Structure 1
Amino acid sequence: MVSKQDFSSSLAVRGPSSLVSRHTYSHSQSHTSSQSRSQSRSKRYNRSHAGGASYIPQNEFPVFSNSGDVEILVKAGGHENRYLLHRHTLTRCSGFFEASTSLEWSRAGGRGDSSAPEEPPPSTVDLARIGGSDEPTLASGDRLAGGRRRWRYELDSGTDDGDIPMLIQKDPDDTGGGSGGAVSLFGGPVSGSKGNGGAQATNKPPSSAPTHSNRSFFRSVANLSLVPSSGPPSQPLSQADQDLLRNYDNLLRIFYNYPPIMDGVNIADAYVQCKALLTLADQYDSLAVVGPRVDHHLLQFQSRLWRQIAKYPISYLRLGYLSRSKIIFQEALIHVVGQWPAGERSLRGSLPEDVLEMIEDKVDELEENVSRVESRLFRLNLCTPRGERVTPATSYLDWLAVSLFRQWLADNTTPTPPPPHDASADGADGGAKPPPPPSIPPLASLGRAFRTMGDPHPGSYLTHDECKRFMKLTPELYSRDNLRRFEKRLDELKGMAREIVAPLMGSGLELEFGRGVEGLGYLTCTTVRDRDLPW
C-alpha cells in the first residue's frame, strides 16, 4: 500500500516534466492550427472570383457598376468607349444633361412621368440568384432595382458629312442599330430614326424579361484603350476618330475631377486639343467646368505661350474667351488692340458682339492717348540761348533741325496718300467726283513711329548719314562744325520726344517678363481690368 507521502514525492519528481510536455503539446497543437487557418485564409483571399457568382465589379470611373445610372456610348471608327456615370454629377457639370434628364424632357420624349407610381417588379427579376449573372438586375422599364432612373446616350454622327456628332438619348431597352428610340431635344424621335414611336412600343420587350442591354449595362470596361469593342480587329483609327474619342473622354474626365489627357510638350498640338475640347464643352453647355482645366493646362507653357499668343492673337482671344481665362484673354486682347484694324473681319465672324464692343472701346481709348501725344510732338521746338523760340530769323540752323524732325514725324505717322484723282474718269454728265477723304493712319503704323522715338538709343532714326545728306542740300551751310551742332540740336529734340511718348511705351503683357517686347512694332499699353471682362 502506497502512502500519501510516497505519492506526493513521486508527483514532485514526475510533475514538472509531465507538465512541460503537456504544455509543449498544447502550444504545438495551437500553433499548427493557427498556421493552417492563416494558410487557408491566404489561399481564400488570393483566390480569383472573376466570373464567379460572388464577383463584385469595381465602382469607379469610367464605369460605376454599383451606383451609375447614366450609360454613355461613344463610338468612332469601329471602336467604342463605354461609360456608366451618375446623373447628379453630369447635371452639375453640363446643362445638356440637366435638361435631357429632366422630367420635362422625359414627358416630351414620351417616356412617361417618372413620378408616377410603378407596379411592383417581379421578384424573379429583382432578386439575384446564386450562381446567376454577376450584374445587378433591373426593375421595370428604365429604373434600377434601387429606384434610380436609368438613362442611355449614344453618339450620333449624323447623316451628312457636315453634321456635328452629338449624344442622343435612347430607350435603355433599345438594342437595335441606327437611331431607333432616339429622342430629340424638342421631343419625338430624331429625324432619320427607324420606325416610329408606336413601332418602338410594340417591339419593346416586357419589363419582366431581362434584355441584352440590361445585362450589359453594368458590364465593366475599365480599359479605355482604343481597341475594337467586339468582332475581328478593324482598321487603325483615323486621326479624326482618335480626336473624337479623346475629346469626349477628356470632357467626362473633367466632370469627375480627373486631369485631361493633352499634349504637355508641343504647344501647337496642345492648342488644337484645347480648342476642340472647349468647342465640345460649348456644345454641351459645360464651359464653366472645362474652361479652368484648359486655362491651367496652357498656362504651364509660360513664355512659350506668350510667344504663341503674340503670333496668333485672334485665335487665342477666342480661346481665352471660351475658357474664361483672364490672363490669356488679356494677353491676346492687348495684341489685337495694338494692331487694329488688322483681323477685324475675322474677329466679327468668330466672337460675340459684346466682345467686339469692348475691343472697339479699348481702341478708342488708345487712339485718344495717341492723338494727345502726337499733337505734343508736332509742337516741339527749340530755344535760343536767350530763351527765344527758334525761328528762321533767330537761328536758321536750329530751325532746320526742327523742320527735319517734324518732316520725319509727318512721314512716319501719315499713311501713303491715294493716287491722284483722274478727272477724265468722271461720269458722262460732267459731274466731278469729290476726292476721297484722307485715310486715318492705322494704330500699327503709329505704334512703329512712337516705338522708334521711345527707343533709348537716339541713333535709331535720323542717323548721321541722313543729317549729312540733309545739310549738303545747302552747300553754303555745310561744314563739319555746323553738322556737329545740327546733330547736337537734333538729339535734344529726340530726348524731348522720348519723354513725351514714354506713357505709350508701357506694356500690360506677360511677354515682357520673358523675352521682352522690343521686337513688337505696335503699342501694347492697353489696360484690361476685371470690370472690362465680358463674362
Structure 2
Amino acid sequence: MVSYPDSQVGSNVSAERASSLTIRRPPSVASHSSRTSTIRRHRPHRSGGSSYGGSSVGSQNEFPVFTHTGDVEIVISNGRREKRYLLHKLILTQCSGFFDAGTSEEWSGAGEGSVAQNMSAAALARNPAGSRQDRKKWRYELDWGSDDDVPMLVQKRAQPAFSTVFGDGTHPPPARNKPIAPSSNFLRSTTNFSTAQLSTAQLSTSTPTPAPLDPDDNTFRDYDNLFRIFYNHAPSLDTLNIANAYVECKALLQLADMYSAIDVIGPRVDHHLLRFQGRLWKQIAKYPPSYLKLGYMARSKAIFAEAMVHVVGQWPAALPQLRNQVPDAVLDLIEDKFEDMDELKVKVEVKLFRLSLTTSRGERVSPSSNWLDWMAVSLFRQWLAENTTPPPAPILKSPRNGSATPRPDLSANFNTGRVFRLLGAGGPSYLNHDECKRFLRLQHDQYNRENLKRFERRIEEVKNKAKDAVKPLMRNFLELDLREGGLPYLTCTRVDPQDFPWDAV
C-alpha cells in the first residue's frame, strides 16, 4: 500500500488527481530513476543535435576547434589535406606578436561591423544564442607562395559567424525543382574511377603498397605544435631519436620566430631536449655550432652554454658555420671568451718554459753542475716548443716553371688543447720510457742502465711540476662526462649568467 503526504492528497482530492500522482520508490531506486531521466532529458542538448542544424562534431568547444567561444579561424590547406582551427584572440595575442598586430583595430581588415547587424530579424529569432554571435571574428589562411617562398598565414575576410545547414541565416537557400543532370565527362570519370579502384583493390590483396608521404606534412606538424603549445598542450615531437627531435625543434623555432612567439615556444623546446640528458650532451659535442644556434633561438641557457664551451675550445674552426648565421653579439661573445682563454694559455706556457730542476744544494741544474739533469729539462722544453708552435708552411715547387708557391697558412686552425691535456694527464702519455731511452742513446758515453733510471726519475719530476702548472686549463665546465673519452681541445670556458646575449637585447 502506497501512502501520500497530507499536503498533496487531501480528503477532497478527486480520484483523477490522485491517480496522476507518481508512486514513490525506495530511495535508491528513486535516485537512480531521477538520474536516468535527467540524463535522457538533457543528453540531446549536450550533444548539440538540435533543430539548429548542428552536429556533435561541429559543436565541440575544445582544442583545436572552440565552436562556442573561438573567434579566430585558421585554415591550413594544400589541396590534398586541410586542418582547421578555431581559437581565441586573447590566447593568440598573448603568445604571438604576429596575431597581436594582425587583430588590432588599426591593422585588422576583417570583421567590419558586427555580424548581428548583417543578420535579419528572422535569423536572430531562429538563433537563441544570437546575443553571443555579435563578436568580431578573424580568419587566416596559409599562403604557400612560390617554390622559394616560406608559407605564411594571411588574413582573409571573416565569414558570417552564424552559419547553419540552411546557409548564413540572411537569405534562403536557392530553390531547385530537380537535380542537375550529370555531364558525360562526370560519368566517364566515375567509370574510370571505379575501374581504377577495382584494380587498386586487386593489387592491394597481392602486394600492399605504403601510402606516399605528403611533402607538406612537416608544415602541418609544425603549425599544429605551435598552436598546441599556445594552449599548454604537449607538442608532438620525437622522444626517442634525438636527431629527429633536433630537426623538429629547429623547424618549430623557426616558425615561432616568424610569428614572434619565441618567448612561449623556446622554453617548451628547451624542456623537450633536456629530457634526453646524456644523449643531448654527446650530440652537442658532435655538432656544437648547430646546437649553439638552436640554443640561442630557444633562449636555452643550458644548451647555449654547453655548445659555447665546445665552440670556443675549437675556435676558429666553427667560424664558417656561424658567420652570417648568428647575431654579432654571439660572435663577439665567442671572440671575448677565446681571447680570455688565449691569455690564460700564454701565462701557463710561460710557467712551463720556466720549469727547472735543482741540485742537492738548491741550485738550478746547468751543464756544468749536473749534465744529466740539465738534459732532462732540455728534453722537456724541446718537446713543449715543438708541440705548442704551429708547423711552418711547406713550400711546393711547380713542375713547370720551378717557382716556389707557398701553401695556405695552417696556423690559424692550430689548436694546442691536445698538448695541454697531455701535460695535465702526465705519466706515460708523453716522453715515455722508449723516448727517454732513444734520447740517451744519442750520447753513447752517457747511456747505461743507472743513468736511464735516473733520467726517467728526473723527467717524472718535471712532468709533475707541469701538471700543477696547467691546472687552470684543465677545468671542465661541460655537462658532458669526460671520463668516457677526452676531447682534443680545452673546455675551461665559463659562461656566466650575465654573458647570455639575449638578456642584453
| Global fold match (TM > 0.5) | yes
**Counterpart residue number, 1:462:** 431
**Counterpart residue number, 2:497:** 530
The DSSP-based 3-state class of the residue aligned with 1:305 is helix
Quickly say closer, same or farther: Cα 1:86–1:478, change in 2 above 3 A: same
For this pair of structures, how many residues does the alignment match?
Answer: 444
Pick aligned residue for 1:29 from 20, 23, 26: 23
**Counterpart residue number, 2:126:** 128
For 1:202-217, list aligned pairs within 5 A: 208-209=170-171
Structure 1 residue 152 corresponds to structure 2 residue 139: yes
The DSSP-based 3-state class of the residue aligned with 1:387 is coil
User: 1:523 Cα deviation (Å)?
Assistant: 0.3
**Counterpart residue number, 1:165:** 151
Bigger relative contact order, structure 1 or 2, given CA contacts below 8 A and separation 6+?
Answer: 1
Quickly say closer, same or farther: Cα 1:29–1:438, change in 2 above 3 A: closer
**Counterpart residue number, 2:488:** 521
TM-score by length of 1: 0.74
Query: Does the CA contact (< 8 Å) of 1:398 and 1:486 recur in 2?
Result: yes
Quickly say closer, same or farther: Cα 1:516–1:148, change in 2 above 3 A: farther
Query: Does the CA contact (< 8 Å) of 1:173 and 1:211 recur in 2?
Result: no
Quickly say closer, same or farther: Cα 1:36–1:206, change in 2 above 3 A: closer
Pick aligned residue for 2:472 from 503, 510, 514: 503
- For 1:440 and 1:240, the matched residues in 2 are separated by 45
- For 1:419 and 1:99, the matched residues in 2 are separated by 61
Query: Does the CA contact (< 8 Å) of 2:393 and 2:408 recur in 1?
Result: no
The DSSP-based 3-state class of the residue aligned with 1:392 is coil
- For 2:122 and 2:402, the matched residues in 1 are separated by 94
**Counterpart residue number, 2:187:** none
TM-score by length of 2: 0.78
**Counterpart residue number, 2:10:** none
- For 2:138 and 2:65, the matched residues in 1 are separated by 14
The DSSP-based 3-state class of the residue aligned with 1:103 is coil
**Counterpart residue number, 1:321:** 296
The DSSP-based 3-state class of the residue aligned with 1:30 is coil
- For 1:527 and 1:300, the matched residues in 2 are separated by 23
Structure 1 residue 44 corresponds to structure 2 residue 41: yes
Query: Does the CA contact (< 8 Å) of 1:508 and 1:525 recur in 2?
Result: yes
Quickly say closer, same or farther: Cα 1:44–1:237, change in 2 above 3 A: farther
Quickly say closer, same or farther: Cα 1:458–1:37, change in 2 above 3 A: closer
User: 1:124 Cα deviation (Å)?
Assistant: 2.4
**Counterpart residue number, 2:255:** 280
- For 2:217 and 2:111, the matched residues in 1 are separated by 37
Query: Does the CA contact (< 8 Å) of 2:436 and 2:456 recur in 1?
Result: yes
1:66-87 alpha-carbon deviations (Å, 9 max, x no partner):
1111000112461111100011
Amino acid at match of 1:75: S
1:489-515 alpha-carbon deviations (Å, 9 max, x no partner):
000110000000011100111113xx5
Amino acid at match of 2:475: G
**Counterpart residue number, 2:461:** 492
Quickly say closer, same or farther: Cα 1:450–1:208, change in 2 above 3 A: same
- For 1:524 and 1:468, the matched residues in 2 are separated by 34
Quickly say closer, same or farther: Cα 1:113–1:38, change in 2 above 3 A: closer
The DSSP-based 3-state class of the residue aligned with 2:236 is coil
For 1:327-338, list aligned pairs within 5 A: 327-338=302-313
Query: Does the CA contact (< 8 Å) of 2:376 and 2:458 recur in 1?
Result: yes
1:292-318 alpha-carbon deviations (Å, 9 max, x no partner):
000000001100100000001011000
The DSSP-based 3-state class of the residue aligned with 1:368 is helix
Structure 1 residue 253 corresponds to structure 2 residue 255: no
**Counterpart residue number, 1:384:** 359
**Structure 2 unmatched ranges of 5 or more:** 6-17, 161-166, 175-192, 201-209
